[in-house]
């Protein structure tokens, strides 16, 4: 529905409330939900000042609170998943990098991208990482982290012998602590390179590297393809999607 442009710079929420015939709080919810455009561009900050620009409200707009969401991202190599990172993976979360295969039906809102990565991954590694504002998903990924299986494909130089494979399947000792064993198998061997599949409960950054290096093997690539029941299928590097309502970790 079109709304007349303002003559003097005023708060966007005031314009929307007046022209849409709703309360100031309802106007703020419309704006925060991404339903309001200024000169055709979505503006989701209620306090934004608007002068001569044209303000419109999308058809079907509903003044509802922005719901907490969970986001799945295909992290490219070189991005960091920890706080205060020099090249934070969070910068990849925006409306432009959303996967075309997203079937959630959710409208992106600015609040959706205020996130914390709950499944850290080494900077050189690629693959699935999860962000969530949903307390149920957060509790699962944090409190039950040691019970959730991660599947990681690791490419190493050279041939992995049967003896090395047996060693990799033993319970590793990392930083003086005995860890749960990983299920390690060979996925492929070709042209001086071996692909290893690691399936282990929890994912402690650096653990796989220490296991592989203890067998005098050199990692050339690492990619996490699954966390629990969630997999990387359909996500291109640098793209993300929302967790669907019928999906579970």
Domain boundaries, the chain: 2-57, 70-145+230-242, 149-227
Q: Taking CA 24 as the corner, what is the angle to CA 53 and CA 2, rounded to the nearest 5 degrees?
A: 35
Contact 43, 12 (CB under 8 A): yes
> 232 Cβ partners below 8 Å, 6+ apart?
74, 127, 128, 223, 224, 225, 226
pLDDT tens for each residue of the chain, 249 residues long: 555 554 678 999 999 999 899 999 999 999 988 899 999 888 888 999 998 899 999 988 889 898 899 999 999 999 999 888 899 999 999 989 999 999 998 888 888 999 999 999 999 999 999 999 999 999 999 999 989 999 999 999 988 999 999 999 987 766 666 677 889 999 998 888 999 999 999 888 888 998 899 899 999 999 999 999 999 999 999 999 999 999 999
> CA-CA distance, 20 to 61, in Å (whole number)?
10
DSSP state of 227: E
**pLDDT of res. 7:** 63
pLDDT (0 to 100) of residue 175: 64
The tokens of 249 are what?
A: 């970790």
C-alpha to C-alpha distance for 38 and 5, rounded to whole angstroms: 9
Residue indicated by tokens 């149920």: 136
Q: Alpha-carbon distance 9 to 114, whole Å?
A: 28
Phi, psi of 98 (to 5 degrees): -70, 135
Closest C-alpha to 35, from 16, 18, 49: 16
Contact 134, 191 (CB under 8 A): no
Domains 70-145+230-242 and 149-227 share a fold: yes
What is the model's pLDDT at position 170? 86
The second-level CATH assignment, the architecture, of 2-57 is: Roll (3.10)
CATH numeric code, 70-145+230-242: 3.30.70.580
Provide the 3-class DSSP secondary structure of residue 241. strand
Predicted local confidence at residue 41, as pLDDT? 87
CA–CA dist 216, 208 (Å, integer) = 13
Residue-level pLDDT at 231: 96
Neighbours of 136 (CB within 10 A): 12
Fold of 149-227: Alpha-Beta Plaits (3.30.70)
């Amino acid at each position: 529905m079109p709304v007349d442009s303002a003559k003097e710079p005023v708060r966007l929420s005031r314009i929307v409330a007046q022209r849409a015939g709703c309360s100031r709080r309802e106007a703020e919810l419309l704006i925060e939900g991404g339903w309001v455009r200024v000169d055709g561009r979505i503006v989701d900050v209620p306090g934004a000042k608007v002068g001569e620009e044209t303000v419109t409200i999308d058809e079907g707009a509903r003044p509802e609170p922005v719901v907490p969401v969970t986001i799945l991202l295909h992290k490219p190599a070189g991005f960091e998943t920890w706080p205060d990172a020099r090249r934070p993976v969070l910068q990849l979360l925006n409306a432009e990098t959303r996967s075309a295969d997203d079937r959630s039906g959710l409208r992106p809102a600015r609040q959706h991208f205020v996130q914390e990565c709950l499944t850290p991954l080494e900077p050189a590694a690629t693959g699935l990482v999860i962000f969530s504002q949903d307390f149920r998903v957060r509790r699962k990924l944090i409190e039950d982290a040691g019970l959730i299986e991660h599947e990681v494909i690791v490419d190493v130089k050279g041939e992995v012998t049967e003896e090395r494979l047996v060693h990799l399947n033993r319970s590793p000792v990392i930083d003086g602590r005995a860890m749960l064993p990983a299920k390690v198998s060979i996925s492929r061997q070709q042209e001086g390179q071996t692909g290893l599949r690691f399936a282990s409960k929890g994912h402690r950054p650096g653990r796989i590297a220490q296991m592989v290096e203890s067998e005098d093997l050199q990692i050339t690539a690492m990619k996490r393809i699954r966390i629990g029941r969630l997999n990387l299928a359909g996500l291109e590097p640098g793209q993300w999607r929302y967790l669907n309502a019928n999906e579970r970790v």
